[in-house]
Structure 1
């Protein structure tokens, strides 16, 4: 699914035309007046919606079907070789806002600067060096590319060894710690340590959840949400971490590189099967490295040395 780092009137108009909606129909979906939409479109690059409207546009794009996504990309590409605001997979890293594209697996990564953060239930100050973390968990589409490149096995739930199209942007599951480590090595990355993952999830100030201290299940895919399955990794825009990282609570548990005992490794994040409180980034969980479950996946990190030089 395409991701827009900042909506302007140009992207608004492209989405409306891609969805084939009138001004009034489009405005109704966003909960604004048609005059506001008209003004955004008229102002072009200078027409920047408020943050609440940016979030509504993110949601409308995320819930659109693949045909709308294709038309949206095409409309933005008419005059630009590379659309200014649109992030699409590329063979070279591109800096766009706070996101950087990794050159190997094409995934967006978020920079987490070096420094102290408050860790654990006791908010212990801990120093963590600078690193980059995948903005989204590893998806089924990511895993399919890995399988094609390495001959690795597909997850058990893929019918006939092929991922259903409806699950392309859902997190891959039924992968063991060893499977996740193999992907990370192929991509030129590693699995996060417990400290890296926790800092990326809760920021530096000791917030209970990525979005703050409120116990708000609607911001993530957990048991209380009632969905009872994985969801698109970009669905919960209001639940992102202070660094803009998605799905750090709910959807799937994520493997870490930190061992509890030999052959057993930590997990963080909770899943659609878990109650909200289990998703607090300070919480502890672990499993044997051969465990494969339908609510367990992973994401990767990279050190600055593992990232190519970036040009602003």
Structure 2
């Protein structure tokens, strides 16, 4: 199922047109005034509906039939200024698409069933218990909510302590391992271990990349893509993992909870600044826990008991 990180007037209009509804019909279904919908659509990407409306749009898209979702993807693709392949996740239907919304930080999470997967370059069988992982990397908008709730320091590149609206749906960067851990604790989650992260990226069969064995640059934001900066976390739909998780290769390096030596922790996934081969989920990298860089971010995990206790 296609997912939207942050709804604007562009996505709202795309969903209305995909559902083939009038403004009045769509607004009634959404529980808002038709004037509000018209205002969002007129402002296009500058309009950001309130969180309650964002949730209602999420629900409407999730409950739409396959034809509506297909038309929605097509309309969004045609509207993008940077061409990209936007399709349903190419994954095992048994494992993919089992999403829940975590209550503390409101992020979508994907279920990764417990069991053995083939880990590392040698494909060694490793057991990992069931867990849930954020579908998207932690965005600037996510981190801003954490900062607002806790008073935690903002990333040093935010102007006057605020992230530009145009970067809300990009992954937060220049966060240390300690910063990422602080966010995870606030969200009642944790950082993934290197093994959890690798399984979420590769699936169980030992594929080289989340999408398979071919080194396809178009499926991720790496050096060869020549974007040279972060991209919205929902952009690369065709590069999702077998569990429907985005950006497991490229965009930003992601902190893991696995220590390597005293004060150093593993990083996974590579970034827009790194070559594609560095993004193989089996590849190794680490850094000091105080390191902050413009190509490093994170995502979180939760255990099944955390999901059930907070539901």
What TM-score range do you get, normalising by the shorter chain?
0.7 to 0.9
User: Offset of 1:270 from its aligned partner?
Assistant: 0.2
Instruction: Report the Cα distance in structure 1 between the residues aligned to 2:22 and 2:77, rounded to whole angstroms.
Output: 12
Written as runs of structure 1 = structure 2, the 5 A alignment for 1:83-122 is 98-122=98-122
Any stretches of 5+ residues in structure 2 without a counterpart?
1-5, 27-36, 43-62, 83-95
Which residue of 2 is the match for residue 48 of structure 1?
67
Any stretches of 5+ residues in structure 1 without a counterpart?
22-43, 65-95
Is 1:151 the counterpart of 2:137 in the alignment? no
Q: Secondary structure of 1:308's partner? A: helix
Instruction: Specify whether residues 125 and 163 from structure 1 end up closer, same or farther in structure 2 by C-alpha distance, changes over 3 A only.
Output: same
User: Moved runs in structure 1, 4+ residues, more than 4 A?
Assistant: 7-11, 14-21, 44-47, 60-64
Which residue of 2 is the match for residue 13 of structure 1?
20
CA displacement 1:226-274 (0-9 Å, x = unmatched): 0100000000000100100001000000000000011000000000000
Which residue of 1 is the match for residue 215 of structure 2?
215
Which residue of 1 is the match for residue 194 of structure 2?
194
Instruction: Report the Cα distance in structure 1 between the residues aligned to 2:21 and 2:160, rounded to whole angstroms.
Output: 37
Instruction: Report the Cα distance in structure 1 between the residues aligned to 2:280 and 2:187, rounded to whole angstroms.
Output: 28
Higher relative contact order (CA 8 A, sep 6+): 2
Contact 1:210 1:241 in 2 (8 A): yes
The normalised TM-score by structure 2 is 0.74
User: Offset of 1:308 from its aligned partner?
Assistant: 2.6
Instruction: Report the Cα distance in structure 1 between the residues aligned to 2:310 and 2:149, rounded to whole angstroms.
Output: 26
Instruction: Report the Cα distance in structure 2 between the residues aligned to 1:200 and 1:230, rounded to whole angstroms.
Output: 21
Contact 2:189 2:300 in 1 (8 A): yes
Instruction: Report the Cα distance in structure 1 between the residues aligned to 2:164 and 2:64, rounded to whole angstroms.
Output: 37
The normalised TM-score by structure 1 is 0.74
CA displacement 1:2-35 (0-9 Å, x = unmatched): 499xx999844359997979xxxxxxxxxxxxxx
Which residue of 1 is the match for residue 34 of structure 2?
none
Contact 2:97 2:110 in 1 (8 A): no
Q: How many residues align?
A: 255
Instruction: Specify whether residues 50 and 167 from structure 1 end up closer, same or farther in structure 2 by C-alpha distance, changes over 3 A only.
Output: closer
Instruction: Report the Cα distance in structure 1 between the residues aligned to 2:252 and 2:210, rounded to whole angstroms.
Output: 15
Instruction: Specify whether residues 235 and 8 from structure 1 end up closer, same or farther in structure 2 by C-alpha distance, changes over 3 A only.
Output: closer
Instruction: Report the Cα distance in structure 1 between the residues aligned to 2:65 and 2:302, rounded to whole angstroms.
Output: 35
Instruction: Report the Cα distance in structure 2 between the residues aligned to 1:145 and 1:15, rounded to whole angstroms.
Output: 34
Instruction: Specify whether residues 14 and 300 from structure 1 end up closer, same or farther in structure 2 by C-alpha distance, changes over 3 A only.
Output: farther
Instruction: Specify whether residues 62 and 260 from structure 1 end up closer, same or farther in structure 2 by C-alpha distance, changes over 3 A only.
Output: farther
